[in-house]
Amino acid sequence: MRSNLNRLVFLIFALLFAGCGGGGPSSSAVPAVESVQTGSVAFRLGQPSRILAQIVSVEVEVLNPNTEQAVLPAQQLVFGQEVIFSHVPVGVHLVRATGYASDGSIESRDQVEVLVVAGQTTRAQLILNNPSPEPTETP
């Protein structure tokens, strides 16, 4: 009698757990790779001697060229080192570098559009030096 009861309990548990699929989708066609292709953007400031002496920090941004909204969080540049933005969606983006003085004011800014290609690193060339002087009027 006890043996029959054990078999019945075992059968009930087996039936309950056999039907439990975890509530996930019934399709097993789950993509193995990301659907969005990405690349990288690398940036390094030019020669330190050409950078304004007043610049104490530099922020580098990757922006949507139409809206100027950030595509990725901005990064602080360490002088002499390269900044690399990874997982940048493919397409055209605006790379902007802003140089700040010790009081937080903007000393210089430069930007360039870059084309990000899947699986490749795109290099952005920007310069933070003295802005061109305003043209003087001649009488």
pLDDT, tens digit, for every residue of 12-58? 555 545 554 544 444 344 333 433 699 999 987 766 666 777 888 89
128-137: pLDDT as tens digits:
775 544 433 4
Q: Give the tokens for residue 4.
A: 């029959």
The predicted structure's pLDDT at residue 113 = 95
Question: Where along the chain do its domains lie?
Answer: 38-124
Helix, strand, coil % in the chain, rounded to nearest 5: 15, 35, 50
Q: Please state the pTM of the whole predicted model.
A: 0.64
As a whole number, the mean pLDDT across the chain is 76
Please give the order of strands across the beta sheet that includes 75-77.
75-77, 57-63, 91-100, 106-116
Q: How far apart are the first and last CA of the chain?
A: 117
The predicted structure's pLDDT at residue 3 = 61
Band of pLDDT at residue 89, cut at 50, 70 and 90: very high
Q: What architecture does CATH give domain 38-124?
A: Sandwich (2.60)
21 or 101: which leads in pLDDT:
101
CA–CA distance, 13 with 7 (Å, rounded to integer): 10
User: What CA dihedral angle connects 15, 17, 18 and 19, to 10 degrees?
Assistant: 90
Classify residue 70 by its DSSP letter: B
Q: What are the φ and ψ backbone dihedral angles of 124, each rounded to 5 degrees?
A: -105, 130
